[in-house]
Amino acid sequence: MLQKLKHSGTVPHMKKYYSIAFKFSILLSLSPVAQAAELFDAESVRLARAGSKGMIVADDAQAAEWGVDILRRGGNAIDAAVATAFGMAVTRPHFASLGGGGFLIFCPAPRAGKPSDCGVIDFREKAPGAAQKDMYLRNGKALSRLSQNGALASGVPGVTAGLLMALEKYGTMKRQELLSAPISWAQKGIRVSTNTEYAAKHRWNEMNAEARRVFGCNQTTRPCRAGEKLVQPDLARVLKAISKAGAAGFYEGNVGRKIASGIQAAGGIISMQDLSGYSPTVRTPVRGQFKGYEVVTMPPPSSGGTVLVQLLGYFDRAEKAGLLSQGFGSALSLHTQIHGMSLSFADRAEYMGDSDFHPVPLGRMLSENYLDERWKTFVPSRANFPDGPGVLLPEPQHTTHFSVIDSAGNAVAITETVNDNFGSGFVPPGTGIVMNNEMDDFSLQPGVPNLFGLVGAEANAIAPGKRPLSSMSPTIVRDSNGHARIVLGAAGGPRIITSVFQTLANRIQFGMSLVDSVAAARVHHQWKPSHVRIERNTFSPETQEKLRLLGYSLEAGNGLAVVHALERFPDGRVVGAPDPRGEGAAIAE
């Protein structure tokens, strides 16, 4: 199938990416994913890495290098992913802290010519045992500063338990080896990244004294600047305890006591019992089909996979109706995508939460009949929203996604987060651990928007031990033989889902290279607020005007999410595409 890219809908600074893809796309006649090797040329190497063995695409080059070192020592993709994650807990403490949580998908390479089962480990934070549905209400009003800042904002963290469970279930190496470099980095110091500097500046006023002591420079009078050295002796001790005792080194003993007593002394409710009782959950992935590929992605308590599969389903319907023929960036194609986003996020708000506590009607939400019915609301000549505008909130950067593949083709996608930059801003004294503010991902009150402007209902109300609804969408796309072909995910709250969707749409539907698919301009819509977020200086004024005429209210914003993706070709070559919106790197074995 010949795929021609239409790039006239974008403004010049994005054009250099599209011109590469366009130049090559007209020569190709293979299926879109098979085209990408040819679409990859010297100019785009600047943004990507190619190799024929393993690869890691992550937010931090030092941690990714460490993961690749583990691959070279004979480790598999899980060993490398666990090493990278512990590395980033040191190098990127503002989003990869052990005080956070996340999700992991693992798809082993096919065995004996048959696709293997993929596994999900859910290590999302849980509400503490003393949590109550109305714990953030005062005089009947939700106080989101309590769910966003300080000791009361944290759920029970899951990163350590999740990574160690993955290692035990699927890994081959000893945790002591994987933790060795991160421990020495915490002891000897790392160079602060631009991203960490930005995050610390953004949250400095809400940080407790201990967080400022740990992440401040110049006698803790100001946030450390990019390039300054940051030594984290308390965190080194925590990592050593984990190395020695496994998960108990974090959740029990000295470290567990310090976390619980530090939080309680500051008005929080996480107890030793909450910590020692925390366990990750093994889940079955959500699966969808898109143009002959299998999309393996996150089930609840993330909304990510369900919304992604719905979005791909609506996109497929748009294609069948001939609405995508004007190609990438055309107003009509964007209109179809935004309408799909509106339908899916309306479902998310009503139906989705932790399925261990509240039934999520996944079967119905993903059924072909249901998607057919919902898609009938698309009106080509105008926007057709169910509701009016809401509150548009600023863009935080606070999450991290990384994609790993090894030379055997085993693939891992991990997204983890502390929610906001530096999470709750709270570090329990003596631990060096940035605690999350994931409680804000619950619906504090029906209709009250969270940090990301998302609303929710009873399905996502607070309950002890329940996990707040997430948007994280680590995803693995497999071919019909069960080979992992694309491994991806993103940081960026609800924009994660729409950015993963658009990356796959660009790659598989529009036939762009992976690099171009990640870099291309994006839009985001989440039903409420009713604005459509559009990346500043990207789509042309003509395209934007057409969208306005259809009835969309556009809001220009900075980069929409940070996607880190890699693609493996049938001959074993791998291309990594870190998002140019972030500071990430692709490191090849």
Residues annotated as catalytic are 399
> How many Cβ atoms are within 10 Å of 491's Cβ, its own excluded?
28
Angle between helices 331-351 and 495-504 (to 10 degrees): 140
Q: What number of helices (H) and strands (E) belong to the chain?
A: 22, 24
Cα gap 394→345, rounded to integer Å: 19
Spatial neighbors of 574 by CB under 8 A, at least 6 apart, are 50, 51, 52, 53, 54, 55, 405, 566, 567, 568, 588
Residue ranges binding ligand GLY (CB under 6 A): 417, 419, 438, 441, 470-472, 493
Residue pointed to by tokens 């791909």: 312
Contact 473, 500 (CB under 8 A): yes
Contact 396, 410 (CB under 8 A): no
- In whole angstroms, the minimum distance from the beta carbon of 492 to ligand GLY comes to 9
| Minimum CB distance to ligand GLY, residue 338 (Å) | 20
Residue 155 or 288: which CB sits closer to ligand GLY? Answer: 155
- Nearest approach, Cβ of 557 to ligand GLY (angstroms)? 17
Cα distances (angstroms) measured from residue 18 to each of 327, 336, 455: 12, 21, 36
- Least separation in angstroms between residue 419's CB and ligand GLY is 4
What CA–CA distance (Å, rounded) separates 309 from 287?
A: 8
Q: Which is nearer to ligand GLY, 212 or 522 (CB)?
A: 522
439/486 with CB nearer ligand GLY: 439
User: Rounded to whole angstroms, how far apart are CA atoms 240 and 249?
Assistant: 8
From the CB of 496, what's the least distance to ligand GLY, in Å? 7
Helix ranges, 144-266 (H) = 144-148, 159-170, 175-188, 194-203, 209-215, 233-245, 248-251, 253-265
Cα-Cα-Cα-Cα torsion 465, 469, 473, 478, nearest 10 degrees, comes to 70
N-term to C-term CA, the chain: 33
Nearer to ligand GLY, 425 or 493 (CB): 493
| DSSP conformation class of 338 | H
Minimum Å gap between C-beta 470 and ligand GLY is 3
- Residue with structure tokens 């993929």? 118
Question: Edge-to-edge strands of the sheet including 399-405?
Answer: 281-283, 119-123, 101-107, 411-417, 399-405, 55-58, 585-588
Tokens of 120: 């999900």
The type of residue at 206 is: E
- Tell me whether residue 17 or residue 442 sits nearer to ligand GLY (CB atom): 442
To ligand GLY, the closest distance from the beta carbon of 255 in angstroms equals: 24
Q: Which two tokens mark 43?
A: 């100019």
- Which residues, at least 6 apart from 194, have a Cβ–Cβ distance to it below 8 Å? 226, 583
Residue 151 or residue 183: which is nearer to ligand GLY going by CB?
151
Q: Least Å distance between CB 256 and ligand GLY?
A: 23
Q: How far is CA 148 from the centre of its chain?
A: 19
Query: Which token pair is 249?
Result: 């080194």
Cα 241 from Cα 237, distance rounded (Å)? 6
Q: Which is nearer to ligand GLY, 396 or 432 (CB)?
A: 396
Q: Which is nearer to ligand GLY, 336 or 419 (CB)?
A: 419
Nearer to ligand GLY, 409 or 493 (CB): 493
Q: Which residue is nearest to ligand GLY (CB)?
A: 470
CB of 558 to ligand GLY, least distance (A): 18
Q: How far is CA 527 from CA 59, 166, 175, 473, 478, in A?
A: 29, 35, 43, 18, 30
C-beta of 109 vs 454, nearer to ligand GLY = 454
Distance of closest approach, residue 88 Cβ to ligand GLY, in angstroms:
16
Rg (CA), the chain: 22
